[in-house]
Amino acid sequence: FSDLVEIMEGLRAEGGCEWDRAQTHESIRINLIEEAYELVDAIDSRSRDMMLEEAGDVLLQAVFHTQIAKDEGDFGYRALPQTA
């Protein structure tokens, strides 16, 4: 997981990938929806290989959204503290 986070940080960093740097939650939201549907299809087909691939794609989208939020100062990879 830490390797994936490091890669995403590099892609979104100054001098990183211009396409990745330009993305917003809104611009990539459809990607998350598509990947989630593909994971559901893999589960329905009981294909372990497809499930592994699609779960990774969903994870990548989650990391992408988290990195955008981190870059904007909203939240990061650590869980928020519990409130009573």
Residue 79's pLDDT is what?
A: 61
Give pLDDT tens digits for 30-75: 999 999 999 999 999 999 999 999 999 999 999 999 999 999 999 9
Angle at the Cα of 40 (from 35 to 45), degrees rounded to 5? 125
Residue 24's pLDDT is what?
A: 98
pLDDT at residue 82 greater than cutoff 60? no
**What's the token pair of residue 9?**
């940080």
pLDDT at residue 80 greater than cutoff 80? no
Contact 58, 32 (CB under 8 A): yes
Give pLDDT tens digits for 6-34: 999 999 999 999 999 999 999 999 999 99
